[in-house]
Amino acid sequence: MVEDSKIKISKTKDYSKFKFLKGNRQLDRRNINTLIDSIKNNNLLSCNPIIVNSKMEVIDGQHRLEVCKKLKLEVYYVELDAKDTSLNSIINLQYSKRWVGEDYLQYYISQGRHNYILLRDFAETYNISLDTVLNVLYRNARGSGGAKKAFKEGTIETPNIKAGHEFMNALTIFMGPRNDFCKTRTFISAFKIMWSNPQFNLKQLQNKLEYQSSILKRCATKEQYLELLEYIYNYKSRETVFFSENRKL
């Protein structure tokens, strides 16, 4: 809500004067539908105007603008001197919804950042979440928050796509009609630890899964998945390879 009494709030039904700001978030249809119901019941748009810059580019309030179009309502807006369209400026002015990973991804793609285009394509290829993509392509075996921080700041390094494809191809040995959990971030994090161990042999795991796949089940934590994978891998083996820190002696 705009509270500064010095700020001028204008209104119009000329929707064509508003422009999309490059780098802004994409519209969320569920959010639009929720807003439509809310505004039909209690229209407070005059108390919560959209924010535009001197070019009439919408900095904050894309969804409210879309709702106004659909309901044929007047748009209340505030024009700010916001010529800076850098990431921090956009985030600081967009107070209606906290930015999530997909918002940062869309912003950097709109700026032509090739690294982020690669991340999006990788996520779409394997139908996995952005968090899982970062885990597969960047995070070390035990995990690190560095990738997420660099991703948000726009400083993330070029991903090793070839290694990522190799890992995801190896993951297919677990796939089955009852194993939809194998694409969850928790399971993938556990397998990443196993995969990163220099003693790990994919062929050995494949052989064990031929008669041990029935014990694969959904687990609550990464540690539980890792212990289960470790049991399958070492079943009837002469030498035991420990992957879980909790199982090492």
Q: Using CA atoms, how far apart are residues 200 and 133, in angstroms rounded to an integer?
A: 22
- 127, pLDDT greater than 80: yes
Hey, which residues does 11 pair with through a beta bridge? Answer: 76
- 221, pLDDT greater than 80: yes
As a dihedral over the C-alpha atoms of residue 208, residue 214, residue 219, residue 225, rounded to 10 degrees, the angle is 0
Give tens-digit pLDDT for 107-123.
787 677 889 889 988 98
The whole-number average pLDDT for the span 192-220 is: 90
Please give the CATH topology (third level) of the domain spanning 9-97.
3.90.1530
14 or 124: which leads in pLDDT = 14
Name the DSSP letter for residue 173. G
pTM above 0.75, yes or no: no
Confidence (pLDDT) at 213: 81
- 106, pLDDT greater than 70: yes
Quote the percentage of the chain above a pLDDT of 70.
84
113 or 187: which leads in pLDDT = 187
Confidence (pLDDT) at 26: 76
Confidence (pLDDT) at 1: 42
**β-strand 57-60 against 50-52: which pairing, if any?**
antiparallel
Q: Using CA atoms, how far apart are residues 74 and 197, in angstroms rounded to an integer?
A: 61
- 14, pLDDT greater than 50: yes
Confidence (pLDDT) at 7: 59
Domain ranges of the chain: 9-97, 100-158, 160-249
Q: Using CA atoms, how far apart are residues 139 and 145, in angstroms rounded to an integer?
A: 8
45 or 201: which leads in pLDDT = 201
- 224, pLDDT greater than 90: yes
Confidence (pLDDT) at 203: 94
